[in-house]
Amino acid sequence: MKSIAKPFVKWVGGKGQLLNQLENHIPKDIYEQEFTYIEPFVGGGAMLFFMLQKFPNIKRAVINDINQNLIDAYINIKENAEGLVYRLKHIERQYSSITDYEKQKTFYLEMRRKFNEEKLTSIDKTAILIFLNRTCFNGLYRENSKGKFNVPFGKYTNPTICNEELIYADSELLNQFDVEILCGDFVETASKVDEKGLNFFYLDPPYRPLSSTSSFNSYVKEVFDDGEQNRLRYFCHEINQKKSLFLLSNSDPHNINPNDNFFDELYANYHISRISANRSVNSNASKRGKINELLIDNFYHVNYIPSIVIYDSYSLLGNIERKVDLGKITIDKKRLSYANPIYSDTVDNIVYNFHIEGWLPIWVDDDYCIRDGQHRYAAAKQMGLKYIDVLKLNYETLANEKYNSKYYKSKLKEKYLIS
């Protein structure tokens, strides 16, 4: 029986237990056509190996991580699996011959010293990395501020140090798709987008800590703080503008503080789901258990997207009606403030950029015939929305001025800075 490819190291935030839920949240588009798959934070690779085995229609795959040791491991598994297996077997024989716990610990600490201090070949360092990962406390990878691996020795009985079948299965899959392996800042992966085809990003960054005592989000010396979370949000805007699809995982602050809306506000114009996950990284086993995580995406097709409304300004023009059935709204070219045709490029821009620019209501008469906003109406239909917000114009209020959409928009923009 052929071995199934899966992560060759245990990694903080690994998604092995969440694959079924993640599968339920991936975009339907990638089932229907070839696409480029990009992971800016590959980590242990649970999602990567799942995607490569699930979707033979991936025409190109790109992975990235800021951790050079981890990325070197991917490269060595792809390019020299046989050499890596040879070295791991050698380490396994050495370690297995030691039965005394203190001597095992001494062996571990010596390997950790070599990993941190000696000039090793890339493949020798990968072999030691895998050994340390299989024998260190809780299977963690963590670096101190100097970039040194600093996890203490764990206590395992007969750990599997060389999983030969797994390494060969991973190598075969990485080569089958000729996965491009990068090491650097996550923003650099935007340059790998296929401008003419479909792209799907899965983003699994270091999670925002839920509390000061659960602040394990730096497995490298570079800290991923709220500033980095904000930078990631702008990256999502960038790839959204490139018409790429993305799914993003992160912690849910509501687990600790229901009033902490950091991500709800940061990604207010995207779709947010909450799923149940297991907390696996805690020195106290009793504190490991169920917890909610966030999934954020730019492709989930909802029935209704509330508009951004400044009520004081819109009250000058009429009354806002929320969640009006799209089927009630009609178009009569003779009644449009601008009787221009509906341009498909404009509609596409609204569909892909409303996350950034906001979503304004459509201006209608009492009978729900459009006066202004025909492109937003067409975009709502294209997005499959069932409901939309409208501004029902009040002509008694506007009686002193001849109705002119451009005039009122300019006044609103001037007074209330509406885009």
Predicted confidence at residue 290, as pLDDT, reads: 74
Which two tokens mark 253? 């602050």
Residues ≥6 apart with Cβ < 8 Å to 45: 7, 8, 11, 63, 74, 170
Q: Cα–Cα distance between 107 and 102 in angstroms, integer?
A: 9
Predicted confidence at residue 169, as pLDDT, reads: 97
Predicted confidence at residue 196, as pLDDT, reads: 94
Taking a C-beta distance cutoff of 8 angstroms, is the pair 18, 180 a contact? no
Predicted confidence at residue 411, as pLDDT, reads: 45
Which two tokens mark 258? 């229901």
Predicted confidence at residue 73, as pLDDT, reads: 98
| CB atoms near residue 356 (< 10 Å) | 13
Q: Which domains does the chain have, with CATH numbers?
A: 16-297 (3.40.50.150), 311-416 (3.90.1530.10)
Q: What is the largest CA-CA distance in the chain?
A: 94
Alpha helices in 62-183 (DSSP H): 68-79, 81-96, 101-117, 122-135, 164-176
pTM over 0.85: no
Q: Cα–Cα distance between 1 and 152 in angstroms, integer?
A: 37
Residues ≥6 apart with Cβ < 8 Å to 314: 320, 361, 391, 412
Predicted confidence at residue 395, as pLDDT, reads: 66
Which residue ranges in the chain fall short of pLDDT 50? Answer: 1, 216-217, 281-287, 400-405, 407-419
